[in-house]
Amino acid sequence: MASHWVLNHFHEVLNRHRAGYLVLLDPEQCEVATCARLACDVEQAGADAILLGGSFLTTALHPIAETLKNATRLPIVLFPGDSMHLTAHADAILYMSLISGRNPNYLIGEQVKAAPWIQRYALEPIPTGYLLIEGGNRTAVEFVSGTMPIPRNKPDIAGPHALAAQYLGMKLVYLEAGSGAKHAVSDAMIAAVKAYINIPLIVGGGIRTPVLAEKKVNAGADFIVTGNVLEENGSFELMKQFADAVHG
């Protein structure tokens, strides 16, 4: 029987706090040597899990994941760009389908290639409907997936996508403006999508301040993801401010 401890952990976080805080580490930006210290800081600052991954990977994932795993008790959750971005040194994987796009490779192709490895590595797959939302600039995920994002002012299109994810049995919905997005997903978009679903809603991309993170929670986000901002000027203090702003 497959374990669901990471998904259960996410639900427990939502029982304790009004929303959860996930820190994304991109292996391309994270030296193995600094990973252990970073993981300790992320945990101490009060984040709820570490996401590990990115759209495009040229760095070996195993040593970074292993270092993180040994350094923290937080769940390490893979956030893969494709089926090659897998390692046994993680707890779970966002088993995503890029449902905002119409590229069969990212709807089901990479998932089929990854499935036997997820089983072999005993990773917990967390089925996740992944929606790319226009963020004001072209992002890596848009380029790599070869898909068009949903226009940022069209919540009426995003909502039914999220509902379809829920009806297909997915456990999370992720609204993604793309790493380094100029504009985070709008409050109106978050609120409209949230009104359609009763599974947790993750929001990420372009969230650069704790105040903005709190605004997204107030709009209806259940989990906030930050990546770039901590890579650019990450300090323990800033991480803590994000965690506190999100937890409320």
Can residue 207 be called a binding residue for ligand 1GP (CB under 6 A)? yes
Q: Which is nearer to ligand 1GP, 24 or 86 (CB)?
A: 24
According to CB under 6 A, which one of 80, 101, 227, 234 is a site residue for ligand 1GP?
Answer: 227
Strands 172-176 and 92-98: unpaired
Minimum distance, C-beta of residue 61 to ligand 1GP, in the bound complex (Å): 16
Sign of the alpha-carbon torsion through 85, 88, 94, 99: positive
Can residue 96 be called a binding residue for ligand 1GP (CB under 6 A)? no
**What is the CB neighbour count within 10 angstroms for residue 195?**
12
Can residue 205 be called a binding residue for ligand 1GP (CB under 6 A)? yes
According to CB under 6 A, which one of 97, 128, 186, 228 is a site residue for ligand 1GP?
Answer: 228
* Cα angle value 23/35/76 (rounded, 5°): 50
Can residue 181 be called a binding residue for ligand 1GP (CB under 6 A)? yes
Closest CA to 159 of 184, 195, 134, 128: 195
Can residue 241 be called a binding residue for ligand 1GP (CB under 6 A)? no
Can residue 87 be called a binding residue for ligand 1GP (CB under 6 A)? no
Q: Which is nearer to ligand 1GP, 101 or 120 (CB)?
A: 101
For residue 89, report the phi and psi dihedrals to the nearest 5 degrees: -85, 45
Structure token digits, residue 156: 């009426």
| Alpha helices in 127-248, H assignment, sequence order | 140-145, 155-167, 187-196, 210-219, 228-233, 236-247
How many whole angstroms separate alpha carbon 64 and alpha carbon 172? 25
Minimum distance, C-beta of residue 147 to ligand 1GP, in the bound complex (Å): 14
Q: Which is nearer to ligand 1GP, 192 or 207 (CB)?
A: 207
Can residue 179 be called a binding residue for ligand 1GP (CB under 6 A)? yes
Please report, as ranges, the residues that interact with ligand 1GP according to CB under 6 A.
24, 176, 179-181, 204-207, 225-229
